Amino acid sequence: MVQKAKILLVDDRPENLLALEAILSALDQTLVRASSGEEALKALLTDDFAVILLDVQMPGMDGFETAAHIKRRERTRDIPIIFLTAINHGPHHTFRGYAAGAVDYISKPFDPWVLRAKVSVFVELYMKNCQLREQAALLRLQLEGGAEGGARESAGLLAELSARLAAVEEQAEALSKQLDDESADAAAVATAAHLERKLTGLRRALDALEPGTGNGAGPLTPPH
């Protein structure tokens, strides 16, 4: 069973959090509430999130300061942040949001369909990365235990790895085509391209282990 992705919703107003939950419930993922920047940072200490929806105007630690803390932490610096704001202060305000590490900047009231579509892209990318890490972990087990395992067990594991990787490759290709067709955000396209490069490296490492390639005995390190 595929584990659901977690989406962090950060807003000091309960009615805004309720509205976000109503919009994103159709994605069938785990929605986590935070009513302040401090509460969001606590949630990020223990859980992994696919994307963060972060309100800019909050008392105390505002969205910009919260984003700065998120980007300084090694554990959370790569989590996509979508800023939500009810006030449009012009280009300087928007630039500050991107400078703080946002991948997108949406003004309220926003189109529910557009917000849901943007979030779904980052959820899909997160799930593909999770699958890729699983394949890499299995490959490392094969590399570490290959000398002790029998040929039959190794062949079976390689076949399973190849099948799983092929499924991820097919999904990643479909996602990339979808991003091209919809002229998606540059950040999402770049993330998808990075995922495809990692998949290519993993496929090369796996192919080198196949019998008859002449490279099966050499040490290989899966892509990170």
Architecture in CATH of 120-209: Up-down Bundle (1.20)
Largest CA distance in the chain: 66
Please give the Cα distance from 1 to 130 (Å, whole number).
Answer: 13
The per-residue pLDDT for range 99-131, each reduced to its tens digit, is 666 778 888 888 899 999 999 999 988 988 888
Average pLDDT over all residues of the chain: 78
Residue with the larger pLDDT of the pair 213 and 97: 97
**CATH dotted code for 6-110:** 3.40.50.2300
Q: How many CB atoms lie within 10 A of CB 61?
A: 16
Query: Does position 73 have pLDDT exceeding 80, yes or no?
Result: yes
Domains of the chain: which residue ranges? 6-110, 120-209
What's the pLDDT score for residue 15? 94
Q: pTM for this one?
A: 0.65
- Per-residue pLDDT band for 141 (boundaries 50, 70, 90) equals confident
